[in-house]
Amino acid sequence: MGIVLLVLAANYTIHMVYELQFSHPERAIFINLSTCYLAAWLSSSALTLLLDRGYLIRRRFVMHILRREIFTVVSGGILLGLLTGISKIIGLLAMVAGSLYMRFCRHIDLSGIIVGHPCGR
């Protein structure tokens, strides 16, 4: 949980010092989405680790990091590739929807067993 606070503090420090939300709002959104994805995963893993000590294994850790990197590359492509107009707004909404889906509706364990699925499957 301490790492989560450090990640969020670094995010807020970057926003405060460089004022990205005023000069480059696309970069500010990109930083927010990637750090919030990482913070949400770290906090949920820390809380799940309290219940099950065997939860955090190397394979699961690598898969989460790979998913975060894929999400970061896709969101960077959307923010930098779709420069203006309605396509950019649709791209941003798709990123938010994808992030929410991965956070709340994709709690599938690596063995294929659905774990605590809040979307009713």
Distance from C-alpha of 120 to C-alpha of 116, rounded to nearest angstrom: 9
Residue 111 lies in a domain: no
Sign of CA dihedral 94, 31, 13, 18: negative
pLDDT at 83: 65
Look up residue 20 and give its two tokens: 């990205």
Q: Considering the domain boundaries, does residue 118 fall inside one?
A: no
Specify if 113 maps to a domain: no
Q: Would you say residue 66 lies in a domain?
A: yes
| One-letter identity of residue 85 | G
Instruction: Note down the domain range covering 83.
Output: 2-104
Domain total of the chain: 1
pLDDT band at 24 (very low <50, low <70, confident <90, very high): confident
| pLDDT per position as a tens digit, 76-91 | 777 777 667 787 778 7
> CB count, 10 Å around CB of 42?
19
pTM higher than the cut 0.85: no
Q: Which two tokens stand for residue 45?
A: 């893993």
pLDDT for res 108: 47
Is 68 a domain residue?
yes
Q: Give the percent of the chain with pLDDT over 70.
A: 82
